[in-house]
């Protein structure tokens, strides 16, 4: 049978068969003392929770987290959202894995977006920043990575080309804010917008499937971004071009402070007007993208509210629906058939 992608999973009972990436897996015990596997399965169209009853420790150990599994089962439902009830599962053979099934691609045209970005940066006037940009554009490996990398593994712009799309969105938002607040240093702010997430080209893996590199887990994109900035500043100075240390510190600060709060992993709090602006422009672009995607991909397009969204801490209001188009969910607990206790 043809494979079923996650976005094609419909009513409970639908047969599901195909190779999925095992994003997460957990071995748990029922009240009766038997094992079951709780997992999250992923393909290029999204991610879905899955459950396998009457599992074994040996099967759990054999299924590679982050790797691929051949899954046979059926569509179920839990808390009003789809899930897969797995009936059989084993590690996928290399010949069964089609990498194109696991690399989501963004909706935009990468070359057109990059051309828009270059056009904006052609207007930068400060000589030291122009020299720095020349070093950036001359790095073909970095430019290729910027065009291909996702902006995140799953939360926002989580697809090939997502980092470029997000970067362009933040840069263009900063331009609007510069028009409203002329005291902002335009050149410094838009360079910070270009560079704030550049470390994700090394933090994230995006060759076979979306995930994190060892460097990403050990170092993270904020520190990687500062290290990459040092490489470019060093190259500019090595070419006997002046790059003031005060300017270098301001740019470092933009990267280090762009998450805005210590609790969000920011090593520094914003201490310049440009850092404060960049933080909010970055957050706005990421959050609005995640909001619109959550609404567009909600399991029930006829209801007024989405299911619970972890990023926003609750359900999201989608707007009114016509009478008779949908009903509110009743909720419930999962049972071993994959349905809801107390449901129909």
Which H or E run includes 220?
A: none
pLDDT in tens, 56-79: 999 999 999 888 999 999 999 888
Of 69, 98, 127, the residue at which a domain comes to its end is 98
pLDDT in tens, 187-197: 999 999 999 99
CB neighbour class for 175 (10 Å; exposed up to 12, middle 13-18, buried from 19): middle
Confidence (pLDDT) at 311: 86
Confidence (pLDDT) at 106: 85
76 and 149 part of one domain: no
CA proximity to 221, closest of 195, 190, 247 = 195
Distance CA 39, CA 24 (A): 5
262 and 174 part of one domain: yes
Confidence (pLDDT) at 298: 81
Residue 311 falls inside a structural domain: no
Distance CA 79, CA 87 (A): 20
HEC string of 79-114 equals CCEEEEEEEEEEECCHHHCCHHHHCCECCCCHHHHH
pLDDT category of residue 327 using cuts at 50, 70 and 90: very low
Confidence (pLDDT) at 68: 92
The bridge status of strand 15-29 relative to strand 35-43 is antiparallel
111 and 53 part of one domain: no
pLDDT category of residue 1 using cuts at 50, 70 and 90: low
Checking if the pLDDT of 126 tops 80, the result is yes
175 and 251 part of one domain: yes
182 and 266 part of one domain: yes
The whole-angstrom distance between residue 96's C-alpha and the CA centroid of its chain comes to 26
Checking if the pLDDT of 258 tops 80, the result is yes
CA proximity to 159, closest of 168, 170, 171, 147 = 147
CA proximity to 168, closest of 159, 157, 158 = 157
- For residues 122-143, one letter each, b for 16 or more C-beta atoms within 10 angstroms of the residue's C-beta and e for the rest, the string is eebebebbebbbebbeebeebb
Distance CA 230, CA 216 (A): 18
pTM: 0.72
Residue 31 falls inside a structural domain: yes
Q: What is the mean pLDDT of the chain?
A: 89
User: What is the percent of the chain with per-residue pLDDT over 70, rounded to a whole number?
Assistant: 92
pLDDT category of residue 337 using cuts at 50, 70 and 90: very low
Confidence (pLDDT) at 301: 77
240: left (phi over 0), alpha (psi -120 to 50) or beta: left
CATH of the domain at 77: 2.40.50.140
Range 299-314 average pLDDT: 85
Residue 275 falls inside a structural domain: yes
60 and 153 part of one domain: no
Confidence (pLDDT) at 310: 84
Confidence (pLDDT) at 323: 55
Of 98, 118, 146, the residue at which a domain comes to its end is 98
CA proximity to 43, closest of 80, 115, 98, 96 = 98
CATH of the domain at 261: 1.10.3210
Q: Is the dihedral of CA 287, 290, 296, 301 positive or negative?
A: negative
Domain that holds residue 52: 6-98
For residues 298 and 216, which has the higher predicted lDDT (pLDDT)? 216
Confidence (pLDDT) at 272: 98
59 and 79 part of one domain: yes
Distance CA 9, CA 3 (A): 11
12 and 152 part of one domain: no
Checking if the pLDDT of 27 tops 70, the result is yes
Q: What angle do CA 101, 107, 108 make, to 5 degrees?
A: 130
Range 284-294 average pLDDT: 92
245 and 112 part of one domain: yes
Distance CA 266, CA 257 (A): 6
Range 22-39 average pLDDT: 94
Of 53, 71, 98, the residue at which a domain comes to its end is 98
Confidence (pLDDT) at 11: 84
Distance CA 294, CA 299 (A): 9
232 and 257 part of one domain: yes
Residue 89 falls inside a structural domain: yes
Which H or E run includes 14?
A: none
66 and 149 part of one domain: no
Checking if the pLDDT of 335 tops 60, the result is no
Residue 326 falls inside a structural domain: no
For residues 290 and 113, which has the higher predicted lDDT (pLDDT)? 113
């Amino acid at each position: 049978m043809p494979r079923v992608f996650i976005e094609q999973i419909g009513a409970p009972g639908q047969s599901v068969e195909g190779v999925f990436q095992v994003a997460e897996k957990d071995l748990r015990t029922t009240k009766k003392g038997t094992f079951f596997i709780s997992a999250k399965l992923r393909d290029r169209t999204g991610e879905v929770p899955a459950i396998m009853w009457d599992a074994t420790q040996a099967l759990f150990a054999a299924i590679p987290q982050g790797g691929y599994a051949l899954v046979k089962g059926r569509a179920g439902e839990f808390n009003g959202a789809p899930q897969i009830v797995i009936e059989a599962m084993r590690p996928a053979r290399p010949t069964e894995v089609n990498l194109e099934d696991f690399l989501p691609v963004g909706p935009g045209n990468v070359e057109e977006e990059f051309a828009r970005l270059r056009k904006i940066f052609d207007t930068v006037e400060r000589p030291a920043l122009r020299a720095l940009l020349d070093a950036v554009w001359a790095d073909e490996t970095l430019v290729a990575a910027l065009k291909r990398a996702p902006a995140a593994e799953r939360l926002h712009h989580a697809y090939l080309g997502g980092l470029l799309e997000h970067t362009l969105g933040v840069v263009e938002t900063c331009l609007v804010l510069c028009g409203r607040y002329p005291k902002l240093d335009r050149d410094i702010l838009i360079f910070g917008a270009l560079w704030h997430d550049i470390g994700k080209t090394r933090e994230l893996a995006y060759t076979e499937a979306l995930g994190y590199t060892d460097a990403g887990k050990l170092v993270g994109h904020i520190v990687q971004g500062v290290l990459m900035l040092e490489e470019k500043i060093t190259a500019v100075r090595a070419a006997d071009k002046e790059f003031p240390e005060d300017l270098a510190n301001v740019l470092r600060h933009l990267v280090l402070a762009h998450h805005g709060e210590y609790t969000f992993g920011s090593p520094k709090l914003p201490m310049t007007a440009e850092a404060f602006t960049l933080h909010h422009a970055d957050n706005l672009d990421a959050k609005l993208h995640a909001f619109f995607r959550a609404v567009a991909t909600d399991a029930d397009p006829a209801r007024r509210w989405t299911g619970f969204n972890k990023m926003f801490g609750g359900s999201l209001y989608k707007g009114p629906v016509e009478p008779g188009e949908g009903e509110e969910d009743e909720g419930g607990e999962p049972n071993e058939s994959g349905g809801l206790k107390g449901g129909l």
